[in-house]
Amino acid sequence: MVEHITGMLALIGVLSLLCQWVGWKLRLPAILPLLLCGLLLGPGLGILDPDEIFGDLLFPIISLGVAVILFEGALTLNFKEIKEHGRMVTHLVTIGAFITWACIAPAAHFLLGFDWAIAMLFGALVVVTGPTVIVPMLRTVQPKSNLASILRWEGIVIDPIGALLAVLVFEYIAVTADPTTHVLTALGLTLVLGFGLGAAGGYLTGLAIRKNLFPHYLRNTAVLTIMLGIFVGSNILQEESGLLTVTVMGIWLANMRGVDIADILEFKETLTVLLISALFILLAARLDSGAMLDLGFGGVGVLLVAMFVARPLSIWISGLGTNLSSKDKWFLSWVAPRGIVAAAISSLFAIKLESVGLEGASSIVPLVFLIIIGTVVIQSLTAGRWAKFLGVKEGSNQGVLIFGASKFSRDLASILISKNIKVILADNNWDSIRQARMENIPVYFGNPASEHASNFMDLSGIGRVLVMSPYRQLNPLVTFHFQDLMGTEKVYGLNNADSASARHQLSESYLKRLCLFGENISYAKIATLMAKGAVLKITNITENFTYDHFKKRYGDTAMPLVYLTKEGKVKVISGVEAIVLPVGIELISLLPQEAQDQAVIQRALDDEADRQAKIVAEAEAKAAAEARAVREAEEAEQRIIEKARRKEEELAQFEQQEKARLLADEEAALVKQETALLAKELAAQEKAKQAASATTESSDAETSADEEKPQQPSDTKTV
């Protein structure tokens, strides 16, 4: 039996690691492979039965695991950061959470017949989203930077807020469900212990950290042990008050001034990953598949209300008064996957409520798992297409993550930011981070390859990583981490090896990436140049000022670093390829003092050459002007002569025209006289003709008259 339990524990550990690796490799929320693994081992094959293996220890294991998860989540709730991340995040974790709770609880009551107390608890449990499911989804979908930031910080901040809400509702239900306890007394004692003991524990623990009462190697262990002790002590003083106590304790530590919890967070994250993975496999293995099927259409209806009613309503109401567009709000309305925290807390609460005989408590777990499966699977498969349809996907990732916040890195980051390129500086040195913050450069304080950075560092829009830190032990870890995340060709580092013997201790694949800005460029060399007065400069490479002109002016000591194309793309110069710079780019280079001095000399020579050329040009221009004046005078004289000639020609032509006109007039007059004479002759002839005609007619008339007289005989004369 002991060997069986040992084997199951080892199997759970191995499978937890395998599921986390599969989720990372496929860029999916790890909750999916963990869920499938638990369902396969439990209800599917019957290999893993948590109740049989752990017996009475199952509840304490889950209880302590959930306490650690809640404490780690509460450590991330810094109230100042809520304000820093905009009105939308603030509204979502307050107004939006209340709207979601107010929508889902009635749906569970009316669609599934849950008691109001159970429905309110269920609504509080599924308010949270969580970075463990949001971050992998954002890496795949790649929405615009502001949308990714809203979703990521909503998941981070709402985790402890939703957990606190669920704990308060549970405490109320647990107290009212116990008939032997006076409700007001028990609830009041729970709240007093939770807030009072949690605040006191957080303050005293923070004070111990601030005064370095624990050695560094014991700090993380001490905080974990104190937290578990306070959790158990709170439960002893008042049953079920421990979860509220550790949540308040974590929130107090996160907001206490002068307390550095970065190391604690990193340790808790590592522990939480193991706990979450193991717990989720155990909880999924305990799940009764028949109970989930028994939810029927009512469970599907609750899922639809959560996705299509509660989420859009909370987004649109929370978005009032913000600068988000309608497309941004529609995208945010679709992305709200539920995470592992809801599953872990619901399973713990269900066990506790079943122990007090509360009816309907057993239905919480399958319904929570249905919501988790539905939101994660459906939204993971469709969020990318939805973002593309709405046009809210990030363009090509041209942003730069720089590990190492030295003076050189800060100057390079400032130049890139001035060109609207997203830059994040990451470093473990607080002084360097502080200087970067004073220069308004986005920063991440800590190891960028940590789990905390994966959840909290906004990598949306980041397309390449430049490892430029002096940490020789940490640089390979960061390099390999982001090579796996972004691809080998997107990660470059400076060569920090001291000697050939040290280089042989490094892997060949790592050495190939130590070519940032050139094969022989190291962090020490750049730091030395910056200490001696080297500066970064932007130069426009054009057809009139090519890269050859650049090399002539600044010499071989000038170091090209990065150039920006017309399309806004960032190209990092490395030793992998020969430097061939096209025209029409903006070149960012490092100019050592020698290059600056040479540039001054070369500029003086160029100025003198320009001055001589200007003198020659002015002389040539003067000669050309004089020649032009002579030519213009000759042309003017020629124009005058030509004008006089044209006038003479016009006058001669006019005289000819006048002579021709006079001749024409004389000829016309002669023709007129001849015509008049001819007309007179014709008139005389006509008159004569008429007279002759008249004479002829007269004689004809007389002749006719003579012929008409009567003939008298000549012998008629008688007496």
Tell me how far apart the alpha carbons of residues 99 and 119 are, in angstroms, rounded to a whole number.
14
Checking if the pLDDT of 498 tops 60, the result is: no
Based on the number of CB atoms within 10 Å of its own CB, is 136 exposed (0-12), middle (13-18) or buried (19 or more)? Answer: buried
Whether residue 32 contacts residue 145, with contact meaning beta carbons closer than 8 Å, is answered with no
Higher pLDDT, 99 or 345: 99
**Structure tokens belonging to residue 580:** 């061939």
Span between the terminal Cα atoms of the chain, in Å: 214
Secondary structure (DSSP) of 601-639:
HHHHHHHHHHHHHHHHHHHHHHHHHHHHHHHHHHHHHHH
Q: What is the mean pLDDT of residues 471-488?
A: 82
Task: Read off the pLDDT band of 501 (50, 70, 90).
Answer: very low
What band does 429 get if pLDDT is binned at 50, 70 and 90? confident
Please write down the long-range contacts of 219-227, taking CB distance under 8 Å and 24 or more positions apart: 219/263, 219/264, 220/263, 220/264, 220/267, 220/268, 223/264, 224/68, 224/267, 224/268, 224/271, 226/201, 227/67, 227/68, 227/71, 227/201
Question: How many CB atoms lie under 10 A from the CB of residue 696?
Answer: 10
Tell me how far apart the alpha carbons of residues 89 and 262 are, in angstroms, rounded to a whole number.
23
Tokens of 1: 């039996």
Residue 208 corresponds to which amino acid?
A
CATH of domain 57-269+293-390: 1.20.1530.10
Mean pLDDT within 355-365: 75
pLDDT on residue 182 = 55
Please report the pLDDT score of residue 499 as a whole number.
46
Q: Which of 40-54, 403-417, 539-553, 669-683 has the highest mean pLDDT?
A: 403-417
pTM: 0.64
Confidence of residue 101 (pLDDT cuts 50, 70, 90): very high
Average pLDDT, integer, range 612-641: 86
Residue 94 class from Cβ within 10 Å (0-12 exposed, 13-18 middle, 19+ buried)?
middle
Core vs surface per residue 223-239: b (16+ CB within 10 A) or e: bbebbbebbbebbeebb
Long-range contacts of residues 217-220, Cβ cutoff 8 Å, at least 24 apart: 219/263, 219/264, 220/263, 220/264, 220/267, 220/268
CA distance 489 to 508: 15
Helix (H, G, I), strand (E, B) or coil at 674: helix
Lowest pLDDT segment from 25-29, 65-69, 145-149, 516-520: 25-29
Closest CA to 517 of 409, 397, 405, 406: 409
Question: Which of these ranges, 150-154, 233-237, 315-319, has the smallest mean pLDDT?
Answer: 150-154
Over residues 396-411, mean pLDDT: 87
- CA separation for the pair 101, 162 (Å, rounded): 10
Q: Lowest-confidence range among 560-564, 605-609, 666-670, 683-687?
A: 605-609
Burial per residue of 395-412, b for 16 or more beta-carbon CB atoms within 10 angstroms, e otherwise: eebbbbbbbbbbebbbbb
Do the Cβ atoms of 272 and 250 come closer than 8 Å?
Answer: no
Locate 220 and state its tokens.
């993380």
Report the chain's mean pLDDT, rounded to a whole number.
80
Strand duo 462-467 + 491-493: pairing = parallel
Fold of the 399-498+506-591 domain: Rossmann fold (3.40.50)
Confidence of residue 32 (pLDDT cuts 50, 70, 90): confident
717 pLDDT tier (thresholds 50, 70, 90): very low
The mean pLDDT value for 61-74 works out to 78
Instruction: Tell me if 466 sits within 8 A of 401, measured CB to CB.
Output: yes
Which has the higher per-residue pLDDT, 137 or 426?
426
CA–CA distance, 287 with 716 (Å, rounded to integer): 186
Q: What sign results for the dihedral spanned by CA atoms 245, 250, 254, 260? A: positive
Q: Please report, as a single letter, which amino acid is at residue 423.
A: V
Confidence category of residue 703, pLDDT binned at 50, 70, 90? low
pLDDT range class, residue 98, cuts 50, 70, 90: very high
Number of C-alpha atoms within 13 angstroms, CB side, residue 706? 6
pLDDT score for 718: 38
